Structure 1
Amino acid sequence: MSGYHLFLLYRCLRFPETTAIGYDNHYRKAWVEKMLQVEAKERGPCLSVISSTKSAATFFASTSLVLSSLIGAGLEAVQMISSRVFSYMVTQIHPSFLSNMLAFVSYASFLQCISSFVHANFLISMPNSDVPVEYVQMALIRGSAFWSVGLRAIYFAVTLLLWIFGPIPMFVSSVAMVVILHILDTNSASLSTGQES
């Protein structure tokens, strides 16, 4: 999974049009350009889109925090109940500790996502201002990047949790996750320049 995400990062940086992330970022930039052309008092629908995204990010942040707490409580219970040799416990628990850390990384990423979208909301709703389009675009794209990192951290955490059942379920889950993510992350549609309309 780590190798796939390094490959995805390379594609996002070098060939963004071939990824769903680059595709979405292209249309986010176009959305901001069109939205900033209307009067500030008519930007209500745009602000509601950002508001609903903030609500979803808040839900995922809470879910990540709960997941991190449950994993931590589970690790505590395993350490108290297990009567196996210490070295065996360390080997078995290590992926779960990593899973716990990834759940917390997810929580932090969703908090940063919310922060970026709040900043974008502030820039969009300012009446009679000449906010550069690039500032709003950068805030939206940064928020979306943190959103992606948060979701990917949850995917990693859940896959690592399968180590409880052994390395084979975790490996099968990792392979299935990479195949599914590759399908979802690939973009074959061409990017329009927005000049047609």
Structure 2
Amino acid sequence: MEWKTYYLDLMLVPLEFLMTIGYYVWLWNKTRREPFSTTIGINAHARRFWVPTMLKDIEKKNILVAQSLRNQLMGSTLMATTSILLSAGLAALMSSTYSVKKPLDDVVYGAHGEFMVALKYVTLLTIFLFSFFCHTLSIRFLNQLSILICTPQDVMSMVTSEYLSDILEKGTTLNTIGNRVFYSALPLLLWIFGPVMVFLCSLVMLIVFYNLDVVCGSGKAKIILNGESNYV
């Protein structure tokens, strides 16, 4: 293994992983400390009030509940199907002897030996499988919620609004994690063509995610907590 062949992969690809992990650690801390400064925190706060609101008049809002949960299920099902299809395609490619497993030396910058090609495909396969795992768990919780939310609370006293809100939170959180894991595989797809593309694509994606995740505004948002008005 020659350093002149592998140094770009050894420098840029781990740096891409560290950048991505560092961004999500920062986002998690910001959401935990300042929940209303990120879209994730605002959405999580809104979901805690969604279930009690629907339960107050479930007979009139049952269609709205069914449509909302169906949209969530369709999104998770689509992403799970896409992830497993990509996993199957990568597995078939790894087990074959097709020439695409050997990229052209003139096109690829960085390492392009048999070991590195195999490492690239195994990394992608692992990420897509983990995304599939998260989305299937999300589908499980959302299906469970779609049944329990229409259960009369006077018949099953253990099915409280807090319990249903917890199920909804687990389902949506797993869906979000699955989506972000899936998106993290997109720069690695370009690793087939070299580590430089991985780093540049990851940098662009983090800039896009930052603008989507962080709520920027000079005005203060009014949030009602336990009957009291709070400004954030």
TM range (shorter): 0.7 to 0.9
Alpha-carbon distance change, 6 to 78 in structure 1, aligned in 2, over 3 angstroms = farther
- Offset of 1:157 from its aligned partner? 1.4
2:201: which partner in 1?
173
Q: Deviations over 1:113-143 (max 9, x none)?
A: 1111112112211024343221111111111
Q: How do 1:1-197 and structure 2 match up within 5 A?
A: 1-40=20-59, 42-77=61-96, 82=102, 88-129=113-154, 130=157, 131-188=159-216, 190=221, 192-193=223-224
2:6: which partner in 1?
none
2:83/2:132 contact within 8 Å kept: yes
2:77/2:135 contact within 8 Å kept: yes
Kindly report the root-mean-square deviation, in angstroms, between the aligned alpha carbons of the 2 structures: 2.6
2:76/2:136 contact within 8 Å kept: yes
Q: TM-score normalised to the size of structure 1? A: 0.87
Secondary structure of 1:43 counterpart: helix
- Offset of 1:58 from its aligned partner? 0.9
Structure 1 gap ranges (5+): none
Write the letter of the residue equivalent to 1:181: F
Mean CA deviation greater in 127-136 or 49-58: 127-136
Secondary structure of 1:10 counterpart: helix
2:145/2:168 contact within 8 Å kept: yes
Secondary structure of 2:168 counterpart: helix
Structure whose residues are more often helix by fraction: 1
Identity of aligned pairs, percent? 26
For 1:156 and 1:103, locate their aligned partners in 2 and report how far apart those are by CA, in whole Å.
Answer: 10
Larger radius of gyration: 2
For 2:58 and 2:78, locate their aligned partners in 1 and report how far apart those are by CA, in whole Å.
Answer: 31
Structure 2 gap ranges (5+): 1-19, 105-111
Alpha-carbon distance change, 121 to 14 in structure 1, aligned in 2, over 3 angstroms = same
1:40/1:126 contact within 8 Å kept: no
